[in-house]
Structure 1
């Protein structure tokens, strides 16, 4: 095994451990073809698909909170 392979596997293992400790995972399922629409919108906004989805969720929650406060 080369040094590069050892480093690659160790690095991947460390990243996976960090991500498991610091992030929750979501697995949204969307209708066929809709993923491409979301990816294009994210790209147009200069964002990753993940950042786009998280931002959209956060904005929806904030709008709902504001509606509750107004109503």
Structure 2
């Protein structure tokens, strides 16, 4: 599959199977993060970010209490 039909099919699949959210960083930090991810063998910046979030959740526990993020 190539072309518009393929793009529509991929977009439909992605919309049904993935959530998206925006990460905002100071200018230049995205490149720093991507370089670090590549240097340490991550498949992508996304995989690095997702793993970092998962590790943080594991360390802090998944309790229902609120914490101050600052």
Relative to the length of structure 1, the TM-score reads 0.79
Dislocated runs of 4+, deviation >2 Å: none
**Which has more radius of gyration?**
1
Q: How many residues align?
A: 61
Tell me the C-alpha RMSD between the 2 structures: 1.6
Counterpart of 2:46 in structure 1 is: 50
Query: Unaligned stretches of 5+ in structure 2?
Result: 63-70
Counterpart of 2:11 in structure 1 is: 16
Tell me by how many angstroms 1:59 deviates. 0.3
Counterpart of 2:57 in structure 1 is: 61
Relative to the length of structure 2, the TM-score reads 0.80
Query: Unaligned stretches of 5+ in structure 1?
Result: 1-5, 67-71
Tell me by how many angstroms 1:7 deviates. 3.3
**How far, CA to CA, are the matches of 1:33 and 1:61 in structure 2?**
26
Counterpart of 2:21 in structure 1 is: 26
Counterpart of 2:68 in structure 1 is: none
